[in-house]
């Protein structure tokens, strides 16, 4: 709150344009433009839409800077679009004690995922959330660590061979610059996606046998690219028929793959077993709960498969890329691993005793959060940071721009894992760092993601020296913030005979 009379959202200054503009007071330029636009003069509404499509990260960081880390208004046409850059305001939006905010633009995702913890609101979301929490407890996390180690070791055995192997497992062209005894990974993000998807399938569904990991990943990539293209199109533009067809086909293939998986499930102590077992609780109105239909089971499984591997794979890819360019941190992490677990695979308790390894993953998530922006909309008129918001106002809270703010993190664009050790990170507000979201809709699989990342990084560093290939990586900005397609990495076996060979825990 900012006093007895909160300001209207229209009084929040617009963010300055990216190009040169006439000399006038920056604090009032946005209001002047808004007043002229409302009077039928000056530029047409929607002046920030092209920059949101072309350079969203720069726009969000500029928004945070110009708003003195509070609220900034973007000209996106009709309605209100505010960038929330104050961690305390982010806390209000994500915690949402008054149920004033909801997740907008979920219609396309519902066509793919149906109703589940990612797409639903209200009682349906609460039921799905309870099911999610049952499969993310400590016992399941310990089992996940073992499964991730098995899958990782299987993949690393292919890395230990001589020559480059493509993302489909086939040998690269002889023209590849791979040096003898090393393994060139043509796309580190795709490599991590395949690895983490296999691990999630085994952990949550019992098996990844007869499941086409590459096809699933390809269809998921198509769905995400189509949704991004459709939602970032100019207002009033007709959807591309080609994009619509590609989206419908890929969404259908994803659901068909999961329906086949569910139909062949043999039962067990996993997510599919939980969802297909007879319900043992009453429904909200006190009557006996109905068992889930195959489509409802598919909704839940598909959501967990996507959420359980996509962001973790992206963060792992960034972690390895950052480590490849910092020999000192890599050496220190490898020493920590050797002291803690030697050559065996770590469990959750081991990972808790490796603070630098955890700090590497935390710092990668700070610099390159896969969920680089979180969108909410107001379901009714409300107030935020002293600003009156109408119903239907769109709010963007960006982990990327807030986590790269020099206000909270000195040298914000540098990879400095030590900033997370000891008391170094003390003093920052709660939502100066929120790659897993927050509040009631925070990621229920946060612990699984951290354990998965810890196991994969440990096994890679136990067996390989990671080297960069080419120029520093750049980001591809879509629904997730991923390394650009084709970002390469080189893995050189430390001891070729042992790379990828898992030493069992005593």
Task: Tell whether residue 178 is among the known ligand binding residues.
Answer: no
Query: What per-residue string of b and e applies to 283-299 under the rule 16 or more CB within 10 Å gives b?
Result: eeeeeeeeebeeebbbb
Query: How far apart (Å, rounded) are the C-alpha atoms in residues 402 and 71?
Result: 12
Burial 456-486 (b: 16+ CB within 10 A, else e): bbbbbbbbbbbbbbeeebebebebbbbbeee
Give the dihedral sign, CA 475/480/485/489.
Answer: positive
Say if CB 70 and CB 350 are below 8 A apart.
Answer: no
Q: Tell me how far apart the alpha carbons of residues 196 and 218 are, in angstroms, rounded to a whole number.
A: 14
Residues 131, 289 contacting (CB under 8 angstroms): no
* Backbone phi, psi, residue 387, to 5°: -120, 130
Compute the distance between CA of residue 417 and CA of residue 329 in angstroms, rounded to an integer: 8
Closest C-alpha to 369, from 439, 292, 432: 432
- Residue 101's DSSP bridge partners are 378
Helix, strand and coil in the chain, % to nearest 5: 50, 10, 40
Instruction: Classify 279 as helix, strand or coil.
Output: coil
DSSP letter for 481, please: E
Q: How far apart are CA 376 and CA 40, in angstroms?
A: 30
- Using alpha carbons, list the distances in angstroms from residue 273 to 135, 168, 213: 11, 31, 21
β-sheet with 464-468: strand ranges across = 183-185, 489-493, 464-468
Helices and strands (H, E) in the chain, number of each type:
17, 13
End-to-end CA separation in angstroms for the chain: 57
Largest interatomic CA distance in the chain: 76
Where is the binding site for heme, in residues? 443
Annotated binding site: 443
């Amino acid at each position: 709150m900012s006093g007895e009379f909160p300001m209207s959202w229209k009084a929040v200054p617009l963010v300055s344009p990216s190009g040169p503009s006439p000399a006038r007071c920056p604090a009032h330029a946005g209001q002047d433009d808004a007043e002229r636009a409302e009077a039928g003069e000056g530029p047409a509404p929607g002046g920030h839409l092209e920059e949101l499509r072309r350079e969203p990260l720069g726009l969000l960081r500029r928004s945070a800077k110009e708003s003195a880390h509070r609220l900034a208004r973007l000209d996106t046409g009709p309605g209100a679009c505010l960038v929330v850059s104050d961690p305390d305001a982010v806390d209000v939006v994500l915690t949402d004690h008054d149920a004033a905010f909801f997740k907008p633009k979920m219609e396309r995702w519902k066509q793919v995922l149906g109703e589940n913890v990612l797409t639903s609101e209200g009682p349906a979301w609460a039921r799905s959330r309870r099911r999610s929490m049952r499969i993310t407890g400590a016992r399941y996390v310990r089992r996940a660590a073992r499964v991730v180690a098995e899958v990782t070791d299987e993949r690393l055995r292919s890395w230990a061979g001589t020559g480059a192997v493509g993302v489909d497992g086939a040998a690269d062209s002889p023209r590849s610059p791979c040096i003898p005894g090393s393994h060139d990974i043509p796309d580190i993000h795709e490599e991590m996606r395949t690895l983490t998807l296999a691990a999630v399938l085994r952990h949550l569904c019992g098996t990844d046998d007869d499941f086409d990991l590459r096809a699933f990943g390809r269809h998921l990539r198509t769905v995400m690219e189509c949704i991004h293209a459709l939602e970032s199109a100019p207002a009033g533009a007709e959807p591309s028929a080609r994009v619509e067809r590609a989206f419908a086909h890929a969404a259908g293939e994803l659901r068909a793959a999961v329906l086949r998986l569910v139909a062949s499930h043999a039962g067990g102590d996993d997510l599919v077993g939980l969802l297909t077992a007879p319900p043992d609780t009453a429904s909200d109105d006190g009557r006996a709960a109905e068992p889930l239909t195959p489509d409802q089971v598919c909704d839940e499984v598909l959501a967990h498969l996507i959420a359980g591997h996509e962001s973790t794979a992206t963060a792992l890819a960034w972690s390895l890329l950052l480590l490849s360019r910092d020999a000192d941190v890599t050496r220190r992490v490898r020493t920590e691993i050797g002291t803690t677990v030697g050559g065996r695979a770590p469990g959750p308790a081991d990972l808790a005793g490796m603070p630098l390894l955890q700090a590497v993953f935390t710092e990668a998530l700070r610099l390159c959060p896969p969920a680089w922006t979180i969108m909410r909309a107001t379901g009714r008129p409300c107030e935020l940071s002293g600003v009156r918001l109408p119903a239907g106002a769109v709010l963007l809270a960006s982990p990327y721009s807030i986590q790269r703010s020099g206000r909270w993190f000195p040298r914000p664009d540098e990879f400095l894992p030590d900033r997370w050790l000891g008391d170094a990170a003390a003093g920052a507000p709660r939502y100066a760092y929120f790659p897993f979201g927050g509040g009631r809709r925070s990621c229920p699989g946060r612990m699984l993601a951290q354990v998965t990342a810890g196991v994969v990084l440990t096994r890679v560093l136990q067996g390989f020296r990671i080297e960069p290939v080419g120029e520093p990586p750049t980001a591809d900005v879509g629904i997730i913030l991923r390394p650009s397609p084709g970002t390469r990495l080189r893995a050189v076996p430390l001891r070729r005979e042992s790379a990828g060979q898992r030493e069992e825990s005593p």
